[in-house]
């Protein structure tokens, strides 16, 4: 039984017996005892005083005495002001350990029947993925896994921004400067090739703007409006929306190159989706909903033909929904996409994993959907996360400091390889086994370092620090698991098997079991906060406790066979829970390192 549940139920019985009060279990505040006090769990007594009609110390003393008398699993108690500190019996912790080991689904909460959609990644098809996208993908994936462990039905979706002026810029530059080259003819990954032409377009635009500024003596903004290359890109977008066959065929071809490139990156990250949506297929629905809103008087049309939503009464400003030339904006397609998804899945919650620079966008999206009469708009949740910075500062594409996702993955692999070879414990592995290990370590380092930071916080990514085999890192937890597996293999070779033998647990072992018992609570807490960082740091705490235990306690050399068998059982459960916790983060743990 979960210790918190046990104590809440026992205290509930005590309150009924002592004060003739039926109190819901959820209102009984039980928490882990602070380290400076003696005890396992602490009951906050103050909310109960109106029932006991006694002083805090007297109330705590009465409840503690009742628990000690009626529940053998309560070993002792002490009272500090309005707090009742409760010590559970060693036999109780032994039972908890045994029950954890017997529960294959330990940590997975009961099914809620709720459908939760999680949108993440959402790249543009004009450039490859970078470090910022990696945080988005890893966060989206791990949040999905975490919510699945909370008993929800999860639908992981991607929205590819495959249309718009940015795509036309790459297309136009390729037509002008590409000379027909392809990923196959150049050997260059498709998303990188298209990204090169996006950069090339900006170079072309910069050169033309500079020439206009010098020739006509005008400011940059005015010069950009006169730039022929930008007008050509805008005309290309209009042709695309009119269905011009030549433009649409080129668009399909170049986007196809990008999708093949994205798929490689997703596969290397261990990311997959249940469904991918494309802006090109949802923006028309968004436009039709905007026009319906206009007919109903929800939106308004300006003299130039553009359509807006006035949100000034809600304390915001006016939001553009359709441009004067009839082309759509991001908000238009998000309206259409959300509507389509609800029709398809009837979700209970829709989570958008998008950076905090889009906070305003999603605030507006909810309001507009609400104005259109969609009550399910209340179920939209923006999981807003902070940006990723490098030790030397913010990433800036124009200054060439953006870290490409593929380059980063390759660099992490090489660092993992060098570090592992330096440790010198894998010489007897085959090349294939070593390659699999290096990939596992490099991904573990990358994913853990990014996910361990609370999503709301801006983070600094330091590749060298992330792959350290000591400290709060993925490789440290992976190495801990490999060490446990090594002990269990040696035990098996000597005919020793893990088993619960009824030996009295050491105080240090009780602490570990108590930590193991909190795993379902961490799953619930992480799910409610949409924060896999809670699970990451739990895994680190558990790995740290094992290493201290292993340093202080004899396991294989323990002479008493029953004690040895039970210690093997304990560390085997630690390994199992580490696998479960790290699995939520998308991190595999090796058998050997």
Instruction: Give the end-to-end CA distance of the chain in Å, rounded to a whole number.
Output: 35
Give the DSSP letter string of 310-373: E-GGGTS-EEEEE-TTS-B-HHHHHHHHHHHHHHHH--SEEEEEEEGGGHHHHHHHHHHHHHTT
Check: CB of residue 411 under 8 Å from CB of residue 442. no
Closest CA to 515 of 549, 482, 488, 485: 549
Most confident of 69-78, 318-327, 456-465: 69-78
The HSE-up count of residue 230 (CA atoms within 13 Å, CB side) is 15
CA 181 to CA 17: how far, in whole Å? Answer: 83
> Residue 575: pLDDT above 60?
yes
pLDDT, tens only, 189-224: 999 999 999 999 999 999 999 999 999 999 999 999
pLDDT value of residue 393 = 58
Say whether pLDDT at 551 is over 50.
Answer: yes
pLDDT computed for residue 461 by the predictor: 87
Mean pLDDT of 116-125: 96
Name the β-bridge partners of 328. Answer: 322
Rounded CA-CA distance 528/150 in Å is: 9
Question: Can you give the pLDDT at residue 397?
Answer: 46
In this prediction, residue 569 carries a pLDDT of 98
Would the pLDDT of 273 be above 70? yes
Whole-number Å distance between alpha carbons of 284 and 108: 41
pLDDT in tens, 156-198: 999 999 988 999 999 999 999 999 999 999 999 999 999 999 9
Q: What is the mean pLDDT of residues 102-123?
A: 97
Residues whose CB falls within 8 Å of the CB of residue 319, separated by 6 or more in sequence, listed in order = 308, 309, 311, 331, 364, 368
pLDDT value of residue 392: 72
Q: What is the 3-state secondary structure (H, E, C) of 56-80?
A: HHHHHHHHHHHHHHHCCCEEEEEEE
Judge whether residue 241 has pLDDT over 90.
no
Is residue 482 within 8 A of residue 593, CB to CB? The reply is: yes
Q: Is the pLDDT of residue 395 over 60?
A: no
Q: For residue 399, is pLDDT > 90?
A: no
For 40, half-sphere exposure in the C-beta direction (CA atoms, 13 angstrom radius) is 26
pLDDT tens digits along 473-524: 999 999 999 999 999 999 999 999 999 999 999 999 999 999 999 999 999 9
What is the model's pLDDT at position 394?
A: 56
DSSP string, 290-302: HHHHHHTTSSEE-
Nearest to 150 by CA among 557, 576, 564, 529: 529
**Half-sphere exposure at residue 278, Cβ-oriented, CA atoms within 13 angstroms:** 9
| Cβ–Cβ under 8 Å, residues 49 and 92 | no
Q: Which residue has the tokens 């049309």?
A: 301
Residue 362 main-chain phi, psi, to 5 deg: -80, -25
Predicted confidence (pLDDT) at residue 401 exceeds the cutoff of 70:
no
How is the beta sheet containing 83-88 ordered, strand by strand?
30-32, 41-44, 83-88, 74-80
pLDDT in the model for residue 564: 98
CA Rg value for the chain:
30
How much is the average pLDDT of 548-570?
A: 97
- Would you state the pLDDT for residue 68? 96
Mean pLDDT, rounded, of the chain: 94
Give the pLDDT of residue 243.
Answer: 94
pLDDT at 398 over 60: no
Q: How confident is the model at residue 2 (pLDDT cuts 50, 70, 90)?
A: confident
Contact between residue 385 and residue 135 where contact means Cβ atoms under 8 Å apart? yes
- C-alpha–C-alpha distance, residues 75 and 132, integer Å: 51
pLDDT at 134 > cutoff 50 = yes
Residue 7 has pLDDT above 70, yes or no: yes
Mean pLDDT of 367-383: 97
- Convert the pLDDT of each residue in 437-464 to its tens digit: 999 999 999 999 999 999 999 999 888 8
Compute the average pLDDT of residues 356-369: 96
Domains and CATH numbers, the chain: 3-88 (3.30.1360.70), 164-273 (no CATH), 405-584 (1.10.730.10)
Q: Establish how many alpha carbons lie within 13 A of residue 83's alpha carbon, considering only the half-sphere containing its beta carbon.
A: 13
How does DSSP assign 180-249, residue by residue? T--HHHH---HHHHHHHHHHHHHHHHHHHHHHHHHHH---HHHHHHH-HHHHHHHHHHHHHHTT-HHHHH
């Amino acid at each position: 039984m979960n210790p918190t549940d046990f104590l809440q139920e026992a205290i509930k019985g005590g309150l009924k017996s002592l004060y003739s009060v039926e109190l819901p279990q959820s209102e009984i505040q039980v928490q882990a005892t602070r380290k400076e006090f003696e005890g396992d769990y602490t009951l906050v007594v103050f909310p109960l005083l109106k029932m006991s009609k006694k002083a805090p110390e007297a109330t705590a003393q009465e409840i503690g005495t009742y628990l000690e008398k009626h529940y053998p699993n309560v070993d002792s108690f002490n009272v500090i002001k309005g707090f009742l500190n409760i010590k559970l019996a060693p036999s109780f912790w032994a039972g908890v350990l045994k029950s954890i080991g017997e529960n294959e689904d330990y940590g997975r909460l009961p099914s809620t029947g709720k459908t939760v959609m999680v949108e993440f990644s959402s790249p543009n098809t004009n450039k490859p993925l970078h470090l910022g996208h990696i945080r988005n993908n890893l966060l989206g994936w791990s949040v999905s896994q975490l919510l699945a462990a909370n008993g929800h039905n999860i639908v992981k979706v991607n929205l590819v921004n495959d249309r718009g002026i940015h795509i036309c810029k790459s297309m136009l530059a390729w037509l002008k400067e590409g000379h027909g080259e392809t990923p196959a003819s150049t050997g260059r990954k498709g998303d990188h090739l298209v990204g090169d032409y996006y950069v090339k377009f900006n170079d072309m635009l910069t050169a033309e703007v500079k020439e206009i500024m010098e020739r006509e003596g005008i400011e940059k903004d005015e010069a950009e409006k006169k730039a022929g290359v930008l007008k050509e890109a805008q005309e290309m977008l209009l042709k695309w929306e009119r269905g011009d066959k030549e433009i649409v065929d080129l668009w399909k071809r170049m986007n196809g190159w990008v999708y093949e490139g994205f798929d490689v990156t997703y596969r290397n990250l261990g990311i997959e989706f249940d469904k991918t949506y494309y802006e090109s297929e949802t923006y028309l629905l968004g436009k039709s909903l905007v026009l319906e809103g206009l007919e109903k008087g929800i939106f308004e049309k300006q003299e130039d033909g553009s359509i807006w939503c006035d949100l000034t009464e809600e304390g915001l400003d006016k939001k553009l929904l359709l441009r004067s030339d009839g082309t759509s904006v991001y908000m238009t397609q998000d309206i259409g996409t959300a509507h389509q998804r609800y029709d398809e899945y009837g979700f209970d919650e829709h989570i958008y994993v998008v950076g905090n620079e889009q906070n305003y966008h999603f605030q507006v999206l909810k309001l507009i959907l609400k104005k259109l009469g969609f009550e399910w708009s209340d179920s939209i949740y923006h999981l807003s996360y902070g940006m990723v910075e490098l030790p030397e500062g913010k990433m800036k594409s124009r200054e060439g400091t953006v870290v490409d996702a593929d380059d980063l993955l390759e660099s992490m692999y090489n660092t993992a390889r060098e570090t592992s070879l330096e440790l010198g414990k894998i010489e007897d592995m085959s090349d294939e086994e070593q390659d699999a290990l290096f990939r596992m370590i490099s991904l573990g380092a990358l994913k853990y370092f990014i996910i361990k930071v609370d999503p709301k916080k801006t983070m600094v990514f330091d590749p060298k620090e992330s792959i350290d085999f000591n400290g709060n890192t993925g490789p440290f937890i992976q190495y801990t698991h490999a060490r446990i597996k090594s002990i269990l293999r040696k035990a098996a070779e000597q005919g020793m098997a893990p088993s619960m033998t009824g030996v009295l647990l050491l105080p240090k072992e009780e602490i570990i079991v108590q930590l193991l018992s909190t795993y379902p609570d961490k799953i619930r807490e992480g799910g409610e906060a949409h924060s896999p960082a809670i699970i990451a740091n739990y895994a680190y705490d558990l790995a740290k406790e094992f290493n201290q235990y292993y340093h202080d306690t004899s396991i294989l050399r323990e002479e008493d066979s029953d004690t040895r068998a039970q210690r093997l059982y304990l560390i085997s459960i630690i390994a199992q829970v580490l696998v479960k916790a790290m699995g939520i983060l998308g991190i595999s743990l090796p058998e050997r390192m």
